[in-house]
Structure 1
Amino acid sequence: MNSPFGLFMPGKRPGRWPGTDCSVETDLVAVAFSGGLDSTALLHATARLGMRVLALHVHHGLQQQADDWAAHCEREARALGAGFACTRLTGAPAPGDSVEAWAREGRHRALHQMARAAGADLLLLAHHRQDQAETFLLQAMRGAGLAGLAGMPRAQWRDGVCWARPWLDRPRALIRAYAEQQGLRWIEDPSNGDGRFARNRLRQAVWPAFPAAEAGLAQAARWVQQADALAAEVAAEDLARLASAERLDLTQLAALSPARASNALRAWLATHTAAPASLVERLLAQWRPGATQSWPAPGGALHAYRDGLYWSAQVPQGQAPMPVDLSRPGLYPQPGWGGAWLVEAAAPGIATARLARLVQRARGGAEQFQRAPASVPRGVKKACQEAGLPPWRRGGPLLFDGDLLVAMAGLGMDARAFASQDEPQLSLRWLDDSALPQREGAMHSAA
């Protein structure tokens, strides 16, 4: 049996790896190495290519043999001429939490950190066809949508590292045959027989009873991946017409078919929050044209206002007044307020001397705001209504120089604070977090 199943190209540099769609730049390949059958075979096959290979092992601390397993993995990696790195997870699952989920999240985080630290931009994982079929079935039983039913991607870039699964369409029997033919040694984890874990129950009950189901379920996951990609394309086309980063047009959304409206709404929400399917259904059913409505969501809230849908991040209550120095151009994020002050060289503006001595605080209730030099001061509530500022964005922050209101998020600069023509001056503008990724500029911290 040759280097396994024709999945890899020979040569010193990986380039584009067949079966992964990853074009990588370095000649260092990282392999997630648990020491089990699948990852042992993958590490062995990769090490035969003659390039630099790094085995990454995660010590979960959940089994008494974990120290011995880490030592075994290091010996095997060194014997194959591969480098070795190991991270031990700290902490433990909270009472009632899933041990599987805790271990998976910690493992993914550790693998990514080790790969980045080593300078590897390709990380290979030994998932195979049965793993994909199990993922599809488990997600289906949880009532997952397309993204969940699509299972594991063959390749996915995450923060500078391509996570690739070159054996995702291969049956495990072929991997075992390769390992046995090569005389490889691997770890048998006793927890694989523990029926408390959902995947183990599938392996014990479903696959023996339905041996042909593995291939069919894995094929179903591939079809779902195509459907998910198509849904994303349709959503992108719809959102190009219906939405900006800050606002989704609910009137136009309602004109779409129910399935297409749900698809577009889920795509827009995904840029702001991990919205459950029930929230999408509830919002589509409850919204009424012209109504001002709100729905709580993870990390914040959704607001319908003037037939647009807006996202607002959760802002901690009771923000204390704090001094800020905005006397230089740049972008000044304000943690906890959901945005940043943008300071630019423009007129009309505020004198730089005044910008150096500002105090930022929340709205108190009696403030007045003057929109232009020729206008008269109005109560902030009235000024917000005239500016079309949604109710949830009327709390601030506000900037003061002593008792003089200088600027308010959403309303802009108060005309009473404008500098005279001969004074050095800068303009102020508030940007919500949703608008920040669209801009580039110097980053400063409020002092």
Structure 2
Amino acid sequence: MIAVAYSGGRDSTALLHATARAAQTLNASGAQLQVLALHIHHGLSPLADAWLAHCQAQCAAWAAQGLPVQLRCHRLSERPVAAQSIEAWAREQRYAALRRMALEAGADLVLLAHHRRDQAETFVLQALRGAGTAGLAAMPARQWRDDICWARPWLAQSREQVEAYVQAHGLSFVEDDSNSDPRYARNRLRLQVWPALSEAFPQAEASLAQAADWAQEALDLQAEVARQDLAGLVGEAGLEMAGLQALSPARASNALRAWLSQTLGQAAPASLVRRLLRECAPEVAGLWPCPGGQLRLYRGCLQHGPAPELMPFTPLPRCLDLSKPGIVVCEDWRGQWLVEAVESGGVALERLRQVLLAARSGGEQFQRAPQSVPRRLKKAFQEAGVPATDRQGPLLWVDSALLFVPGLGLDARQWAAPGEAQLRLEWQPQAPGLLQRSS
């Protein structure tokens, strides 16, 4: 099964027809190929229904002539939001629908009808946006993504060659009325810039497409170097920043961008890459918001995780009984206390019968060990290397004295005497809906 993205326009019509003819020839030699035309009804144009009807009629006519082609259509039900680019929305929705339709039909190859002019235009548009190597590489001829091989067999063919094929076979196609709308960047380039550029530089299309090929080669080299550099820098704890910063600035930036792309599932904003390279000193802790969550630097390693859900309000202080081993849920704080019996290093059971649960108010001091000097919480967190994400949660008090601090643990002044019945405490923040029942 071979799938072809088929809008009904000139380029996709030519590609679908050529693919079906090639399949017909191979089938005559014993192959059993079927060509699947995938049409996406965007619902953005009043002519969309007419385009679908044209595609249905054309595929039916070709099938009647013996070409092994069948049509499948998908109507998009969603609409772009007010601040969203229609071009970006349509492209994202179209590729998602094409992937879904192809996989449902058992096809893992989807042919796209982009040609050399499209490639040259993409290179110019990316350059005007200040893109890096990945953007200037424009469209790859073949790329495996989301279990589909997206292939552009005509990427080296000129627009004139595609038009010649259409004329030679007398193919009919639809004209998208939005192609003349100057609100879209690609249309402005085609209508206002390209004619003058081609007249002044007749080889512009071929030269710009060649530049995209060189950028693709450079991109492949960058990926190869990044794989080599990251091999010794990435472990269970995350990305080791000391090793990253030992690389040359260019290689460090390249490796970081590659790691972020793998970790986030998308290209990281250039501003985020620059911030991380500038601010990620291996000896400090920090947090940076990023697509899909946040990045945390802890003990010299950069890690990715979900962004913590903000508390809608600070819960009021309240009393709690933590004198029995088990789990005690605190839904107002979106977490729970784990209470376990221990032989040493815990707090006397009797002191946990009525403890006060309260938020930080400022001025609290924590003593890490019996002989150490009490420190203000901020200083204690810094000395212990506790990241900001692990400092959240309620404080525990008993008889007006600080008992327990999330991220730091039990205050040394509250440790139980040897031989005394005692319990260990642990604060466990959890997502809503995943809290265990109180024991």
Q: Does structure 2 conserve the Cα–Cα contact (< 8 Å) formed by 1:207 and 1:213?
A: no
| 1:268-347 mapped onto 2 (5 Å cutoff) | 268-273=259-264, 274-318=267-311
Report the CA distance between 1:409 and its aligned residue: 11
Pairing 1:223–2:214 present: yes
Residue in structure 2 matched with residue 41 of structure 1 by the alignment? 14
Spell out, residue by residue over 1:288-328, the C-alpha distance to the aligned partner (whole angstroms, 9 max, x if none). Answer: 34222222222222222333222232132459xxxxxxxxx
For residue 80 of structure 1, what is the aligned residue in structure 2?
62
Alpha-carbon shift at residue 388 of structure 1 (Å): 6.4
Give the Cα separation in 2 of the matches to 1:381 and 1:116. 60
| Range with greater deviation from structure 2 (58-67 or 281-290) | 281-290
The 3-state SS of whatever aligns with 2:102 is helix
Q: How does 1:20-419 map to 2 (within 5 A)?
A: 28-48=1-21, 49-50=23-24, 51-81=33-63, 82-209=69-196, 210=198, 211-244=202-235, 246-273=237-264, 274-318=267-311, 375-376=345-346, 390-393=387-390
Aligned equivalents of 2:2 and 2:58: distance in 1?
17
> Cα distance, 1:74 vs. partner?
0.9
Report deviation, 1:128. 0.6
**How many percent identity over aligned positions?**
52
Asked if 1 retains the 8 angstrom alpha-carbon contact of 2:119 and 2:209, the reply is yes
> Take 2:214 and 2:341, find their aligned partners in 1: how far apart are those partners?
56
Q: Does the Cα contact within 8 Å between 1:149 and 1:224 map onto a contact in 2?
A: yes
Report which stretch shifted further, 267-276 or 109-118.
Answer: 267-276
In structure 2, distance between residues paired with 1:53 and 1:381: 73
Superimposed CA distance per residue, residues 88-147 of structure 1 (whole angstroms, 9 cap, x where no aligned partner):
112322223211111111111111111111111111110111111111111111111222
What is the distance in 2 between the residues matched to 1:41 and 1:73? Answer: 13
Say if 1:369 and 1:377, in contact at 8 Å, map to a contact too.
no
Listed as ranges, the gaps of 5+ residues in structure 1 are: 1-27, 320-353, 397-407, 412-429, 433-443
Q: State the secondary structure of the residue aligned to 2:231.
A: helix
Contact 1:368 1:377 in 2 (8 A): no
AA matched with 2:166: A
Which residue is 2:420 aligned to? none
Structure 2 counterpart SS, 1:163: strand
For residues 28-49 of structure 1, the C-alpha deviation after alignment (integer angstroms, 9 at most, x for no partner) is: 1111111111111111111112
Contact 1:146/1:225 (CA < 8 Å) preserved in 2?
yes
Q: State the 1:394 CA deviation.
A: 5.5
Kindly state the Cα deviation for residue 258 of structure 1 after the two structures are TM-superposed: 0.7
For 1:208, what is the secondary structure of its paired residue?
Answer: helix
The aligned length equals 346
Alpha carbons 1:253, 1:261 under 8 Å: kept: yes
Given the superposition, is the C-alpha separation of residues 409 and 388 from structure 1 closer, same or farther in structure 2, using an over 3 Å criterion?
closer
- Say whether the 8 Å CA contact 1:77–1:83 is kept in structure 2: yes
1:349-372 CA-to-partner distances (Å, cap 9, x unmatched) read xxxxx99x9969697899687797
Give the alignment's TM-score, normalised by structure 1. Answer: 0.68
- Cα pair distance change 1:179/1:293, threshold 3 Å: same
State the Cα deviation string for residues 205-230 of structure 1 (Å, max 9, x = none): 33222242111111111111111111
Q: Report the structure number with the largest CA radius of gyration.
A: 2
Q: What's the CA shift for 1:387?
A: 9.0
- Pair 358,276 (structure 1): closer, same or farther in 2 beyond 3 Å: same
Tell me the residue number matched to 2:421. none
The Cα offsets for residues 316-345 of structure 1, whole Å up to 9 and x where unpaired, read as 2459xxxxxxxxxxxxxxxxxxxxxxxxxx
Give the alignment's TM-score, normalised by structure 2.
Answer: 0.70
Does structure 2 retain, via aligned residues, the 8 Å contact 1:370–1:377?
no
SS of match in other structure, 1:31: strand
C-alpha separation in 1, matches of 2:89 and 2:336: 49
The DSSP-based 3-state class of the residue aligned with 1:41 is helix
